[in-house]
Structure 1
């Protein structure tokens, strides 16, 4: 196999569209907008078997004062939770031996390129469903397991609701009686304002990503990105979330519970579960299983817990930088000075 840069947007997006592991996070405009706003150099690699493209790997490179970093995705406080490998259309239908042989060739070519770049810190976070990282482990990369909540939408809607916690079902029934209006929009302003208020609170260590980043993404993908606003009978906003609707219905970002609101966040999510199923999606994903303060809320909805894998490698310089970033400069006012793409 051969690893080389793919600079053709059409070839890239057609491959992502066909791949069982392709998500909106992988699309050409998405990765280029992400690189632009984070200040990383995008390295859109493709792995070829002869003339056949068999895997895509969007990598992001940055050299900060001599420390070289290589990521997929770049660290963006879970705004892009995973990217990593995009495997070819028929990969999941291969027998295990052929899968492992293909992964070995992908890992070999990618590892050779990583060694040539020689980053002090490398991290590759793969999508749910792409969990075979054995070939990377055998090459000395360290594994880490992450989690995400999902709902299987192939079941009857009554069965899905029956899996909810009984207190959650009661809250949804009360909200239904209250009468509310769900509005789909491509305007991220209200959602972003609510998120900024949440992240500005003293206990939150991480500032927000730039609003311009989200606006650029929404302009690029008006059919696949949306904000949903829930209003009560008096027209007051009671809930807001952003979704990605491409290959799976992904609950991407949400506001904290608004002051004075009782069950509207629960009702908003329930409406979206119903919407996703009616539009033919097979999976509803609710990002946030790795955030302890959100688990008790999200687990009341979701019937499944999926894993996704990260493989990483860092030398002493990279390990020291990671410790310094998380322990010393993990203050909003200071982080704004060293991470240019946050507000």
Structure 2
């Protein structure tokens, strides 16, 4: 096989559209906008078998103060929870032995390129359902396991509703009786303001990603990105979320509980129904790796999906990671050193 850069937007997006592993996070404009706002250099690799493109591997490179970093996705406060490899549409139809041959060749070529770049810190986070990382483990990469909440939308609405905790169902019924209005919008402003207020609190030590980043994404994908605002009968905002609606219905970002009347539970139930009615098979609610969110999200009795990360770091990378989390993990200082923070 041969690893080389793929700089053709049409070839890239056509491959992503055809692959069962391709998500909006992998699309060309999503990658380039992310690189622009994070200050990373995008390396859109493709792995070829002869003339046939069999895998995409978008990587982001940056060198800061002599520390070389290579990521997919770049660290952005879970704005992109996973990215990693995109295998060809034919991959899932292969027998296990042939899958292993393909993965061995992909890992061989990619590892050789990683060795040539020689990053001090490398991380590749794969999409849910792509769990066979043995070829990377055999090459010395360390594994990490992550989780995400999902709801199987192929079931009946009654079946999904019946799995909810009874207290959750009671809250949803009360909100429904109170009269709520759901508005779909491409305007991120209200949601972003609410999130920014939360991230400015003293107990939060992670600053917000730039608003301009989200605005550029929404302009690039008006059919696949949306914000949903829920208002009571007096026009007061009671809940807000952003979604990705491409191949799966992804509950992407949400506001914290709004003071007074909060209807986040009802908002999510409306979106579950909307996603099912539009033919989506999976409703995903990221956040299963954040303990303070689990109590709320688990009440929906979602299934627990798993996704894998493979990483590698040397002593310099380990020290840089410690310094980032322990020394400069303060909003005022991060804004000085990280380009994608307002």
With the length of structure 1 as denominator, give the TM-score of the two structures.
0.99
Equivalent residue runs for 1:273-312 within 5 Å: 273-312=272-311
Show the counterpart of 1:167.
Answer: 167
Contact 1:150 1:302 in 2 (8 A): no
Question: Residues 227 and 240 of structure 1 are in contact (CA less than 8 Å); yes or no, is this contact kept in structure 2?
Answer: yes
Aligned to 1:73: 73
Aligned residue for 2:256? Answer: 256
Query: Partners in 1 of 2:336 and 2:125 — Cα distance?
Result: 26
Judge conservation of contact 2:24–2:244 (CA < 8 Å) in 1: yes
> What is the aligned partner in structure 2 of residue 316 from structure 1?
315
Q: Equivalent residue for 1:334?
A: 333
Tell me the distance in 2 between the aligned counterparts of 1:65 and 1:205.
Answer: 23
- CA drift of 1:228 comes to 0.2
Q: CA separation in 2, counterparts of 1:169 and 1:25?
A: 33
Residues 96-111 of structure 1 mapped to structure 2, 5 A cutoff = 96-111=96-111
5+ residue gaps, structure 2, are: none
Q: Deviations over 1:222-244 (max 9, x none)?
A: 00000000000001111100000
For 2:209, the equivalent position in structure 1 comes to: 209
The whole-number CA distance in structure 1 between the counterparts of 2:201 and 2:149 is 26
- Root mean square deviation of aligned Cα: 0.6
- Once the 2 structures are TM-superposed, how far is the Cα of residue 175 of structure 1 from its aligned partner? 0.8
Separation in structure 1 between the aligned mates of residue 217 and residue 239 of structure 2, nearest angstrom:
22
Distance, in Å, in 2 between the alignment partners of 1:170 and 1:116 is 58
How far off its partner does 1:301 sit? 1.1
How far does residue 65 in structure 1 lie from its aligned partner after superposition? 1.6
In the aligned structure 2, how far is the partner of 1:206 from the partner of 1:51?
Answer: 45
Cα displacement string for residues 130-189 of structure 1 (whole angstroms, at most 9, x for unaligned residues) = 111000000000000000000000000100011111100111111110111000000000
CA shift, 1:303, in A, is 2.5
- Runs of 4+ aligned structure 1 residues displaced above 3 Å come to none
Are positions 1:112 and 2:112 aligned together? yes
Task: Determine the C-alpha separation between the residues in 2 that align with 1:162 and 1:100.
Answer: 40
Residue of structure 1 in register with 2:136 after alignment = 136
Q: Distance in 2 between matches of 1:259 and 1:269?
A: 18
2:92: which partner in 1? 92
**How many pairs are equivalent?**
342
The alpha-carbon deviation at position 302 of structure 1 amounts to 3.9
Partners of 1:229 and 1:187 lie apart in 2 by 10
- What is the SS of the residue equivalent to 1:301? coil
Gaps of 5+ in 1: none
- For residues 107-140 of structure 1, the C-alpha deviation after alignment (integer angstroms, 9 at most, x for no partner) is 0000000000000000000000111100000000
Q: Does 1:123 align with 2:123?
A: yes
SS of residue paired to 2:169: helix
Deviations 1:204-251 (A, max 9, x none): 110000000000000000000000000000011111000000000000
TM-score scaled by length of structure 2: 0.99
Preserved CA contact (<8 Å) 2:241 2:253: yes
**Comparing 8-17 and 329-338, the one that deviates more:** 329-338
